[in-house]
Amino acid sequence: MINYYISYEKPHRHYVNFKLIIDTKNEKKIQFQLAAWRPGRYELGNFSQNISNWRAANENSELLNFKKITKDLWQVETESSKKIIITYSFYANQLDAGSCYLDEYQLYLNPVHCIFYVVGRENEMFNINLDLPKDYQIATSLKKNKNLLIANNYDELAESPFICSNSLQHNKYSINNIDFHLWFQGKCKIDWEKIKKDFYLFTKTQIEHFNGFPVDEYHFLFQITPYRSYHGVEHTKNTVLLLGPSDKIMSEKYEDLLGVCSHELYHTWNIKAIRPKEMFPYDYTKENYFRTGFVAEGVTTYMGDLMLYKSAVFNWKEFVKTQNQNLERHLMNYGRFNLSVADSGFDSWLDGYKLGAPDRKVSIYPDGALCMLMIDLEIIKNTDGKASLNSVMKELYDDYALKGKGYSEDDFKNICIKYGGLGIIEIFENHIYGVKNYIPTLKKALEIVGLQLKDKINPNICAQYFGIVAVKENGKYIIKKIEPNSIADRYGIGPEDEILKIDQIAVDDDLNDLLKKTKDKFLFTIKKKFTEKEIVLLKGNYFKLFELEKSTSITKKQLELQKKWLS
């Protein structure tokens, strides 16, 4: 048994106090490992940078010698000690869907960030004792008894974030005797009737597609912020969602709420149960390299949105909007001609989820989703609608997840080929493992179900006219992307340059507003690291976009396959 005691004194300082007590079992040396990363985000986390005042003592409160072996592994000399007591503090001041946060209103912890496991004793039970204000509730998927949380092993604990607060709102719905809990932290007015109806529909649809659910209960843990936010993290029996602003959750942001929740719920099968062999089991001490991020996130992004349409929670306009967003993100990134989606997923361990070097790589989310759309439609064509991408995922669930084994790249590819035929091979070679232009293949795939691509005017005027993508940072417009061979590129404008003025007018507000004038050229004042330049740029047409729409003329066969795709 591993016993943890968690408390805090001055929440505005954001430090949480931890005490860990274990029996030494006559070991002379014991190692304590803090995870180097968290499942669901494929980059090193360096969580130990938030640890302070780490101490080790025996049952007589005598300090013990210890040393760090790696950046997140401590070793303690335990000879002649029956018990060992580890104390430390953790700085919890990052509020997102995968971190830790403490203030006067809540304690929110992701244990994988801040709780150690004893090396060699990962399968021991954990007791987490929480010292909380009397009026606090606890939102968690862990077994709980008042302020005691119980995990059967470290894997379960690492996957079980919890929120403690006196302002939690709670409700639930049930499907097939499985309870799905809805916990909201933060000031927001929830339309429970609407949200329970919609969540019930897309949850039921996902369960029906897999003919089962991997766990016996599930918890949606919402962190609702007064400011704009959007983030989700999947776990085995729960997900954490960060969304805001709070006054728009049930209106303008409701589509986002549904989208991220359907996505994270689908992860319960795909990546939590259907897991690549490289992560079976997880190694928390280092990178878990794998190339199937296009399955983990590509399939989930595509299927999460498709399930919302299939369940009638989204209408056609709302669903096609998600596909057009994927397409726009793909086309706005010239990394699509440099690094494949498979290689880009592998390299998340290198540079994480930040923008990184411009035009170096793509995202496994939109690019993976577009590949899965192409594969889905190819399977539908090849089987006359009798099978789909869902058939692939269900086979992975039945033959791999339920049998306790991970799948390989070839396993996924071969199952896709089994249903989709030789056309699947080209999609893998050209787009999943290659960097060929998606558009011709996508057009061909969309024709199967009576859809087409049409030109779309880029809503980012600066990108459209000059090939410049700029972001406002600390009141300054900083250039992040330049389209290769665009007018801006030819005149030597580059990433991290600042746009100071347009036509001698300081760029303070919306950049688009200054570019709406009906003229053919603009005078840009550009600040580089050591110089300022005035450059006249002629309007052009860059960062060209397409969008999906239904064809004006559709055959009976196309309509038949379209219905099978969407039903």
The pLDDT score that the predictor gives to residue 562 is 98
Residues 222/227/230/232 CA torsion (nearest 10 deg): -30
- Phi, psi at 453, each rounded to 5°: -105, 140
Banded pLDDT at 67 (limits 50, 70, 90): very high
Q: Is 545 domain-assigned?
A: no
Banded pLDDT at 363 (limits 50, 70, 90): very high
Residue 349 has pLDDT above 90, yes or no: yes
Whether residue 264 is found in the same domain as residue 306: no
Q: How far apart are CA 416 and CA 551, in angstroms?
A: 27
Mean pLDDT estimate for the chain: 97
Q: Is 547 domain-assigned?
A: no
What CATH number did the domain enclosing 295 receive? 1.10.390.10
Residue 355 has pLDDT above 80, yes or no: no
Q: Are 45 and 36 in contact (CB under 8 A)?
A: yes
Please write the tens of the pLDDT for every residue from 450-496.
999 999 999 999 999 999 999 999 999 999 999 999 999 999 999 99
The H-assigned helical ranges of 311-448 are 316-331, 341-346, 348-351, 366-382, 389-396, 409-420, 423-427, 438-447
Using the structure block, give the residue that is written with the tokens 């949105």. 305
Please write the tens of the pLDDT for every residue from 133-185.
999 999 999 999 999 999 999 999 999 999 999 999 999 999 999 999 999 99
| Residue where a domain terminates, one of 165, 195, 218 | 165
**Number of domain units in the chain:** 4
| Residue where a domain terminates, one of 207, 234, 268 | 268
Helix, strand, coil percentages in the chain from 3-state DSSP, rounded to 5:
35, 30, 40
Q: Is 199 domain-assigned?
A: yes
Residue 324 has pLDDT above 80, yes or no: yes
The pLDDT score that the predictor gives to residue 397 is 98
Q: Are 11 and 21 in contact (CB under 8 A)?
A: no
| Residue where a domain terminates, one of 124, 149, 165 | 165
Q: Is 134 domain-assigned?
A: yes
What CATH number did the domain enclosing 111 receive? 2.60.40.3650
Cα distances from 148 to residues 132, 158, 219, 411, in angstroms, run: 11, 16, 18, 42
The pLDDT score that the predictor gives to residue 299 is 98
Whether residue 73 is found in the same domain as residue 129: yes
Whether residue 317 is found in the same domain as residue 445: yes
Banded pLDDT at 352 (limits 50, 70, 90): confident
In terms of phi and psi (left: phi > 0; alpha: psi -120 to 50; beta: otherwise), the region of 120 is left
Banded pLDDT at 57 (limits 50, 70, 90): very high
Q: Is 550 domain-assigned?
A: no
Whether residue 213 is found in the same domain as residue 351: no
SS3 493: coil
Banded pLDDT at 356 (limits 50, 70, 90): confident
Banded pLDDT at 353 (limits 50, 70, 90): confident
Whether residue 10 is found in the same domain as residue 149: yes
What CATH number did the domain enclosing 260 receive? 3.30.2010.30
Q: How far apart are CA 193 and CA 195, in angstroms?
A: 6
Whether residue 408 is found in the same domain as residue 332: yes
Sheet of 117-118: strand order equals 66-70, 73-77, 29-33, 117-118
Whether residue 323 is found in the same domain as residue 395: yes
Q: Is 553 domain-assigned?
A: no
The pLDDT score that the predictor gives to residue 361 is 96
Q: DSSP characters for 1-16?
A: -EEEEEE-S-GGGTEE
Please write the tens of the pLDDT for every residue from 373-402.
999 999 999 999 999 999 999 999 999 999
Q: How far apart are CA 271 and CA 547, in angstroms?
A: 30
What CATH number did the domain enclosing 496 receive? 2.30.42.10
Q: Are 426 and 539 in contact (CB under 8 A)?
A: no
Residue 227 has pLDDT above 80, yes or no: yes
Whether residue 307 is found in the same domain as residue 262: no
- pTM of the predicted model, to two decimals? 0.97
**What's the domain range around 401?**
270-451+561-567
Mean per-residue pLDDT, 512-523:
91
Whether residue 178 is found in the same domain as residue 278: no
Q: Is 456 domain-assigned?
A: no
Banded pLDDT at 332 (limits 50, 70, 90): very high
Whether residue 260 is found in the same domain as residue 364: no
Please write the tens of the pLDDT for every residue from 521-544.
999 999 999 999 999 999 999 999
Whether residue 226 is found in the same domain as residue 356: no
The pLDDT score that the predictor gives to residue 394 is 98
Q: How many Cβ atoms from other residues are within 10 Å of residue 519's Cβ? A: 9
Q: Is 490 domain-assigned?
A: yes
Torsion sign over Cα 276, 277, 282, 283: negative
Whether residue 179 is found in the same domain as residue 160: no
DSSP H or E stretch at residue 459: none
